Amino acid sequence: MLVSDTSTPTAPAAPVLPSRRVAGIDCGTNSIRLLIADVPGVDGSSLSDITRHMEIVYLGQGVDATGHFAPEALERTLKQVEIYARMCQQAGVTSIRFAATSATRDASNRADFLDGVMARLGVRPQVLTGTQEAQTSFSGAISALSSPASPVLLIDLGGGSTELVLGRADGSVLASYSMDIGSVRMRERHLRHDPPTPAELESARADIRAALDEAEKHVSFGQAEQVVGVAGTVTSVTATWLGLDTYDSQAVHGTAMPLADIDTVTDWFIHAPLEERAALGFMHPGRAPVIGAGALVWQEVVRRIAERRSAAGRPLATITTSEHDILDGLALWAAREPQPPARPAA
């Protein structure tokens, strides 16, 4: 049975015990990620990483078309939840926040997934609304930015949805919007050939642009002083631009990438065949099939933001890539509002 969580992920931080060991788990349409961290400060505003882990499980396989989770996708994902449960137990985690996002919001059989997570992990996932997802991602990203220029526009480009959040450097959110546009959705909806045909690309671009038209009714792109991009598509584009042979999160985090170079690298991803994308030394095999579609979304989003900034008389030169996102926001939430596992991992 679906249980709604009414707590607010971005509520003002309350005092927490020093050195609380917490975990955040983010289960999206394509990947499931784990962060185990210590919260060393009494205000619960910073994290000291213990481990970060990511696996591509493709939970959202076919959800956009069918409206439900495929049995094999559930099996893959719950097996990984079992692994994460053991890791949390072995690390001595005392509080866990598990977020299910776009695909789970859409799946008619989501209760099977939520019950499966509860049985393995001992906590019931929070099925975040698009607004909650945006706010949690913003709180995680802003916690790791060095002297951000306010207001900040955050773009969290996922497999099933893309969140846009305009907020202040103190973590407060001014406006947000969640688009049902992401790397997996675009690939499944439009890009049936590899590389995609011109007609497929134009269809996908029209879909993305329509979503951006709606997003601009809620979020002002031209108002942002700094633009930050997070999640796998954005970090992969950045790693490619940096020429990395293997993934280096420290090199990627904080990179200010020129807009012209974003356009060039995303264009390569859009048109490169699968074997060339998969040959990148840092590319996860599960991300390679959808990264072209993600790059298309990122290219359209960046172009739209650049247009609005230019129209406002303040051309945008770079976009900052952050390694910190909703996962950090979940860990901070776990510290702020403890949710201990109900029972040890199996």
Domain count, the chain: 2
Distance CA 190, CA 266 (A): 17
pLDDT digits (tens, 9 = 90+) for 173-207: 999 999 989 998 899 889 999 999 999 999 999 99
Question: Same domain, yes or no, for 200 and 308?
Answer: yes
Mean pLDDT score across all residues of the chain? 87
Question: Same domain, yes or no, for 193 and 294?
Answer: yes
Residue 139 forms part of a structural domain: no
> Which H helix or E strand runs over 73?
helix 71-91
Q: Would you give the DSSP letter of residue 124?
A: P
Nearest to 299 by CA among 275, 321, 271, 270: 270
Question: Same domain, yes or no, for 188 and 113?
Answer: no
Question: Same domain, yes or no, for 122 and 173?
Answer: no
pLDDT digits (tens, 9 = 90+) for 90-144: 999 999 999 987 667 777 888 898 999 999 999 989 888 878 888 888 888 888 8
pLDDT digits (tens, 9 = 90+) for 17-74: 557 899 999 998 888 999 999 987 555 567 888 999 989 888 878 777 788 888 898 9
Residue 306 forms part of a structural domain: yes
Work out whether strand 20-27 and strand 95-100 pair parallel, antiparallel, or are unpaired. Answer: parallel
pLDDT of residue 236: 95
Percentage with pLDDT > 90 across the chain: 57
Positive/negative CA dihedral, 113, 109, 64, 164: negative
Residue 61 forms part of a structural domain: yes
Q: Which residues span the domain enclosing 69?
A: 20-129+328-336
Question: Same domain, yes or no, for 60 and 201?
Answer: no
Question: Same domain, yes or no, for 85 and 196?
Answer: no
Checking if the pLDDT of 14 tops 80, the result is no
